[in-house]
Structure formats: structure tokens, C-alpha cells
A and B are shown apart, each in its own frame.
Chain A
Amino acid sequence: MTELIIKNGFVYDPLNRIDGEKMDISIRDGKIVESVKEKANGINASGMVVMPGGVDIHTHIAGGEVNSGRLLRPEDHVKDVEVKTALTRSGVGYSIPSTFTTGYRYSKMGYTTLMNPSMAPLEARHTHEELADIPMVDKAAYPLLGDWWFSLEHIRDGLIEENAAHIAWMLQATRGYAIKIVNPGGLEAWGFGRNVHSLDDVVPHFNITPREIIRGLCKVNRLLNLPHTIHVHTNNLGKPGNYVTAIETMKCVEDLAQGDKPVIHITHIQFCAFKGSDWSTLSSGAGEISKYVNNHNHVTLDMGQVIFSNTTTMTADGPFQYGLYNITGNKWVNHDVETETSGGIVPFKYKRSSAVHATQWSIGLEIALLIEDPWKILMTTDHPNGGPFTSYPKILAWLMSRAAREITLSKINKRARKKSLLPSIDRELSLYELAIVTRAGQAKALGLKPKGHLGVGADADVAIYNIDPQRLDISKEYKVARKAFKKAAFTIKDGEVVVKDGEIVKPVTGKTYWIDVSTSMPHEINDDIKKKFREYWTVEYENYPLPDSFIHSSFPIPVKAEV
């Protein structure tokens, strides 16, 4: 029985409505408990901020596309290397760090749970092999299911319950956590080099529309009682004028909401909040998007904030990546996956001097600040699409400090600066709100019960930062806060101190979460899938699902479906 007590910290635990109260946090055997014995090991956190471990709802850290990105960019690695130490493995960093480095760097910032949002089901084995080599954090992955032939056919034919059962099978087969939808219908069309351009475009050969796919999978999600909502990357991503598509996407499931529970998560919203008819007239759709979200409770978002940096874009949105390649002429990887999805990679540099890039930078922050309820908008960069996750402390500084925003604003493209809504926004997020957008809100949107809070029974994943809220005005001294968020004073994972003063002191491996849905018709499903297997894929049925023994520290979350 190992015990630990964190003493006298200022605790920010929004899920339990604790806002900077000075209190002790007791830990026993990896869980938060009421109290521990006197002689328990203690951490003196006086003058420091104590928060639940950071949670990232959307970060590309493992699997086929991430690794092709690594292979594509030796020039990205050379300047940023990690030397092997007695405790840690070596690696490379910058925009797409190697696996070990990814785990260490997140942990050093106080993060403890990561969601890999893009997993081609056929290549799930690859994703999980890499996740096993990412130390320090718990993790999970979302299989790409929006263009899966079974989804398209079932939903077209009105077979929602069948589709639900098939998706339950798929979550188990790929050890997945949530239903990921990327440019619904567009990826199937991309198989022949085409795309869809609105929610009501018909997907070639399948006679179904993106609207039907989204609604269908939203219903499936509900039937399966999945902890997270459908996780959607909208149609028309990255195109001027696409804020309309984003709003229509949210609207199209409005009637499927039950009470105040969200039914859709729109990811990296910044990339779908473009107003204007072309690049030269590009402006911010943040006002419209925020207005909609402020008036509706069925949706959560994450930012997809842009950082001025040289990064690597990667999504399952093959046609979008192709478009990016056309704009930049950069190197380009495309990877279409039979029966399921596609994917692309293009290196990309966001420049302050570019009107478009600077507007994108502004849009991300505008949305985060204009949406009143922080539980609805979570902090991400869509790593590495908007920029590498190591830039998170910069984003926090922009969110907590008007002054920080003004400094950057003064350095960006003039035209973008003139159009930016940021000068009109005074809001500065408090530590309590920052805790929501980086952990509590993320865990809540994910339905990940033991994470994102410090109540009794929660996993003892804790981050302690060297910020004294009684002395430090983070809005003015954002640089100090930024530094503190970059290097956690302590990171505690499952009750053990794993990072001290921003350095790894104990390497640990994390759990792999997946959703184990029980349905009433597993056998029929197996027969149906078996029958079509050789027709649809080039691998054998028996080699497709991952055996549990393959999953590193497998941690199934049992869920009972309505079908």
C-alpha cells in the first residue's frame, strides 16, 4: 500500500467545483482517497497550483499517418534530439516526436491522458504497437468509421441497429474508444480522386449524403451508449466559407440531443471557421460559430489552435491534404485504406507575415474566448496540424492574458490584424477556467470518469505547477505562468511522482483504454462480417481483430448497448 499526500496546494478541480482552495490531496494505491496516515510521503505544494493531470482529447501521436509523417521529415528531427539517460530512452522531437519522446514531453507538462484521434481500423495493430511505446500516459484511439463501407451501406438502407452492432464489433476489434468521422463521404469519393462539397452532396456509388452519415452515426453512438459523442472533422475543412458547413453540421443533429448532454464533438474548429469567398477575402467566422454554440448545448468543440511554426499536417482527409499540397507544392503523402478511409500528410509552415495564417491564429483564440462556457471549448492544436503540442503553454498564455495576445497581435500580418476580433475581446481565462479547458472539460467530454478531477475515487493523476495564485497575477505575469506550465513542478501518475521540476524521475507505462460494448446480437454480426470479409478486405477475418494479449496494459471500459 503506497500513500502520498500533497499538502497545502491551491487546488483547481472544476468537476468538484473547487476553485483555488488551499487543501491537501490524499492518495493511496493510485487513487485519490479521503485521507492517509500521518507518516505518508508528503509533497509540499504550498505556493503552488494543484490540478488534475492534463487530458488531450485530440492529438496525433501514433499510428500509420503519424509515423509516415516522421519518416517524411528527417529535417524536422535533426535540430531537436533527446539523449538517452539512465531513466529514459533517446529520440527526436519537434513537430512529430518519436514515441518515447512524445510520452516524456507530455508528462513534463503535467499531462497524463492522451487520445489519438485517427486510427484506420485495418491498421489498428500499428497504432497500438506505437501506443505501447509511448510511456508516462494513459491513452486511447478513435477508429475512423465515417466512410467505412458497412456504415455507408447500413445507414443508406436505414439499418441503424445493424450498424450499431457492427460498430460495437469494430470498437472491440480495433480496441477503439470513440466513433471518428472525417469529411464524411468525402473519403470514399477520394478513392477515385473526388470529394463532396456540402452536407447534401451524394457520395458517388453509395447514394448517401454526409448529412445522413452524421445523423446515422450520431444515432448509432446513442444506441451504443458510448461515453464520448461522435467525434467529427467536418466536410470542407480548410476552405474559405466553411463556417457555414460547420454550423450546418452542428445543426443537423440538434434534434437528436437529449437534455443538455452533448451529442457531437466538432474537432479543431478553427479549421472550419473560415468566412469569405476565397483566400484573399478570408475572414473570421468565429462570431457566428460562437453565437451558435453559446445558444446550444448539444455540442462540444476543441480549438485546433495555430502556432506560428514549421509543422507537419496530417489528417484522414485525403482530399484536404491534396489541396494543401497543391497550395504549397510541398512534399505530399497520400494513403488510402481499402473499405475504410484515407489519409494524407503535408509539411506546413504557419507564418506571422501571412494574412491567411495570422487570421487562422486569431480565429482559434477568438472562438475560445467568445464561447462563454469553457466546458464547450477545449484547448488543442490538433497536434501537429496547428502546431506541436509542446506549444500548449503559449496558448494558455494567450488565453489568460490580453497583454500576451497584444504582443503577438502586434507582430502579425497587418491585414489580418485589422480584421482580427481579438482587440475587441477583454476576456482573460482564470486558472479555474484553464483547468477546465485543459483537463476537466476534456475528461467530461470524453466521458472518462476517473480522469480530469481530484475527487475521492479518481485516478491519482495530478499536475502541480509553480504558480502562486495569491502572489502572481497571471494576466500580467503570463510569462512566469507560461514557464510553469511548460515544466510541471510535479507530475503524479497513478499515485507516483514521475516528473519533478520538469524532468522525468520515474518512467512508467500507461493504460490503453477501449470501449467494450455488449450488444444482444454479436453472433449475427460475426456471420455477416465474415461473409463479406474477403470481398471487402485483402486480409483474413481471423487476422483482423486484435487479440487482447496484443494490447499493452489493456483497460476495457464495459458499456451496455441498447441493441
Chain B
Amino acid sequence: MAVITGVTCPVCGTFCDDIELIIENNVIVEARNACAMGAAKFLNYSAHRTKKPLIRKNGELVEVSMDEAVEKAAKILVDANYPLMYGWSNTSCEAIRTGLELGEEVGAVMDNTSTVCHGPSILSVQDVGIPSATLGQLRHRADLIIYWASNPWSAHPRHAERYTMFSDGRFEGSTWKSYLSRLRGVMSRKKIQRASNLVLKQDFCFTPQVEEGLPSSVHQKRRRTIVIDVRKTRTADAADCFFQVEPGTDYELLQALRVLVNDGELDVDEVAGIPIETLEQLADLLVNCKLGIIFFGLGLTMSKGKHRNIDAAINLTRDLNKRTKFLIMPMRGHYNVTGVNIVFTWQTGYPFAVDLSNGYPRYNPGETSAVDILSRDEADATMVIASDPVAHFPRAASKNIAKHPLIAIDPEVTPTTMLADVIIPPAFVGIEAEGTAYRMDHVPLPLKKVVEPPETCLSDQEILQRILQKVRELRRDMN
């Protein structure tokens, strides 16, 4: 039995690095400190994996040697006029670096999953910038935390414990105790509700805080948490107060707050379903905190308004800096989606949707992004790394992926791999292979190798390196 400490969790953007793994006979038997999501990965990652390279021959996937798979993949890429290489947010920066070199060699379009998640946030940053910080800065100093259209309780389970409301910093402490006492209150209300359901056959309606203005707890001299969302989430339950916005009205709410924090007046009764008096109190809260932070999620990025929403949120943050210190951060999903933007940017100048087909980087999201290229059926071959576009892209785009040769480098069986012509299953990076990845706040951390991969599996980086080598050989032979 071996205990390995300080392991990073290759699952979500929280990218916890304090996981302790117990290893027995090259198998992880226990994952301490990990949340359920993280533990599930460490304990079950290998359950349904592919172990050997496969090639489709006469419609059937058949096992082949690594060399044969690599050669086939290289050939597909060399033969293609306009290949697309997509995915990247679940692999190491080292693999991404090699991937970019390969993409450049074959004149590919390089795109990553941010194209369908925080792409609009990135466009906003390119419009107005972003005042932000590392998560520890917020742990130490933030006395006002806002989760806007993001629900860390389910998507980033240890975010609150490690960096925000339940963490202890130099100047601000955990609000765990006050949460517990509130929880007791909620429990008893839930009991009443259940009883009322049983007895009265109808919902007991307890008045949400927002209708009576803000609860007194938000004026206390301690860290406070606010949740703004279209529905009441578990995170909202844990917060000091919750604002329910009508779906699709985030933009109006953000603009209204901008007016209020700039000492303007609003001549309406409510915005986004929230009474103006309550909003005024909220604006006061924003202006009077010592350091505030907005964590926003896909609920804001992907709802009506998209990058306009993020522009407004960042502009609100900019405005607030005239009065106090205020920061903002996107809640990035995949553990290395931040890293892929970073590596793309240092090598090509652009974070995603980079077209290398002209021999130099070209960037025009909406034109050079994966979904658009596929929808126009322009890519005549696709390579997917650690991602599942067939399941997540619009139907037309997915259909066009399947029309042309498809290479999948992925250990898991997914709708994408099921359609692939070449499948090369790699070692799981962060478990069976090492590397580097970036936390959502741009802090780089090592991915560790804690167990040996199956003999037939190489790391993503090694696979890409071999394909690159093969591509160069094929090119040389052609000339």
C-alpha cells in the first residue's frame, strides 16, 4: 500500500491539489479529500476504457498495433485539405504544445472546448479586459462573494470550501458556523413544507427573502455570499441571500446595477423580477464591501445576450472599482480548459478557433470555430482529443463530423469514438501520465502519474509526438 499526497484532481476547474490517494497493486483504492465527483474519477476511471488502438476496416472496428493506428491517423491528416483538431481541455499542456505543432504541420484548424462554453466570456475579455485575481487572494480578502448563474455546489463541489465562503483567510474567515445555524432554520422550514404537503396537499409558501429586502445577515461584518440565478440551487441554500432573476433578464439586471452603483436612479418598480428597493440595497452592498468578487457561470455566458451579458458584468466590476475593490472570474469547467486557452495564446496569439491552414495563425470566432466549420461542412477530416463533440455539438455539425475521416484520442467510449475511424486510447493524464494544467484562476499545477498505464497505452503527448513524426515522414516521402 502506498499513500500519495498532494495529487491534483483532473476533473473540474477547481483543480484541487490536496488529494491523497491510497494505491494497492497499481490500483487506486481510496481518494481522500476529493469530492464525490473527483473520487468517482480516481476510483472508476478505468472501468469502461478502451485499451488498444482500433481502426475501422470494412465498417468494423478492429484492434491494431499502435504503429498501425499512428500511421493511419497521420495519413488521414496528411491527405486532408482542411483538417480540424478539436478538444484539448482534458489533457496536459505538454500534449497541447505538441498538438499545436502537429496542427501547424498539417495546416489544421485548432479549436478547443471553450468555443462552446466560455467562448463568449473570452470575447468579452478581448473587448473590455477583466479585473481578476488568484483564488487565494479571494480566500484571504473577499468579504462579498457573488455566484452569478453558477452553482458550484454541483459543478465545482469544493470551490466554496477551498476558496470562498467556507475557507479561512488572513483577513476574512469561514462562514461555516452561520451557515450551520441557517441550515437548521431551513431544515425546520422543510419539515413544515413536507407536513403541509401531506396535510394540505399544497405547497407551503415561505416568503423568499428578496421580497422583504435583504436579510440582516448581509450587513454583518463578515464574509457574505450572494447567489443570483434563475432557480434556487443548493448553492443558494448555503448563501446569505438569493436573488431569483427571471430567465433571460440578466443583462437588464446588470445594467440596472451599473446605474445604481454609479449613483443613478431608475424609474421602474422592478428589474428582472426584483423590486427596485431591494436592488438599491444590493447596490449599496456592492459599493460598501472591502473586496467583492463575482463568479459567473455558463448560465450567464450561454443565456440570452451571451457576450453582452459578460461585457455588462465586467463593466459593472470596472465601475465598482471606482468605489472599492471588485473582481470577477468565470467558473471554468474542465480542469485544463484554462490551460488550453493559455497555451494556444502563447504559441499562436489566440485562445481558441485558430486556423493554421494558411501557414500562420488566423482567428475569427464564428468563422474559424469548430461548430461553424463543421456546420459548413468544410473540414474534410477531424481529430478529437479527450472530448465528445458528437454528443455536444448541434446536430448538423455532428453529422458532418461523421461524414469524413475521424480520429479519436480518448480512453473513454463516447458517441464520438463510436463513429471514429481511428481510436487511440491514451493513458489517463493526471493518473497514469504526468503533465501540467491550469486552475481556473491561471495558477499552474502539476498533473501526477500515480499508477502505471496499461502497457498498450501511451500518453496523449507521446501519441501526438508519434503522429507528428509520421506526418513528417510521409511528407518527406511524398516530395
Contacts and interface: CB of A to CB of B under 8 A. Distances in A.
Given A98-B346, A336-B134, A205 B171 contact: yes
Interface residues of B, number: 61
A332 B348 contact: no
Contact of B438 (A70, A126, A338): A126
A41 interface: no
A337 B131 contact: no
A339 B194 CA distance: 48
B126 A72 contact: yes
B347 A133 contact: yes
B101 A89 contact: yes
Contact of A338 (B17, B135, B363): B135
Interface stretch (A298-306, A416-424, A473-481, A538-546): A538-546
Given A71-B341, A98-B347, A322 B130 contact: no
B131 A332 contact: yes
B141 A92 contact: no
A64 to B, nearest CB: 6
Contacts of B130: 333-334
A314 B24 CA distance: 49
Contacts of B358: 83
Interface residues of A, number: 58
Interface string B329-371: 0000000000001110111111100001011111100000000
B361 A337 contact: no
Interface string A303-338: 000000000000000000010010000111111111
Interface stretch (A74-82, A137-145, A157-165): A74-82
Contacts of A543: 6, 8, 17, 445-446
A281 interface: no
B463 to A, nearest CB: 20
Interface stretch (B34-42, B56-64, B270-278, B319-327): B319-327
A384 to B, nearest CB: 13
Contact of B129 (A72, A338, A540): A72
B435 to A, nearest CB: 10
User: Chain A interface mostly helix, strand, loop or mixed?
Assistant: mixed
Interface in B96-141: 97, 101, 104, 122, 125-137, 139-141
A133 B97 CA distance: 9
A345 interface: yes
Contacts of A70: 345-346, 349
A287 interface: no
27 contacts: A62-B346, A70-B346, A73-B126, A74-B363, A77-B349, A78-B363, A83-B358, A84-B104, A89-B104, A98-B346, A98-B348, A98-B349, A126-B438, A129-B436, A192-B325, A331-B127, A333-B129, A335-B442, A337-B137, A338-B139, A338-B140, A535-B170, A538-B163, A540-B6, A542-B6, A543-B6, A543-B17
Interface of A: 62, 64, 67-68, 70-74, 77-78, 81-84, 89-92, 98-100, 122-123, 125-126, 129-130, 133, 191-193, 205, 322, 325, 330-339, 342, 345-346, 535-543, 550
Given A77-B349, A77-B350, A337-B137, 15 more contacts: A74-B350, A83-B358, A84-B359, A92-B350, A123-B444, A125-B446, A126-B438, A126-B442, A192-B141, A193-B324, A331-B128, A331-B129, A335-B132, A537-B136, A550-B446
Interface of B: 5-6, 8, 17-18, 93, 97, 101, 104, 122, 125-137, 139-141, 162-163, 170-171, 290-291, 318, 321, 324-325, 327, 341-343, 345-351, 356, 358-363, 436, 438, 442-446
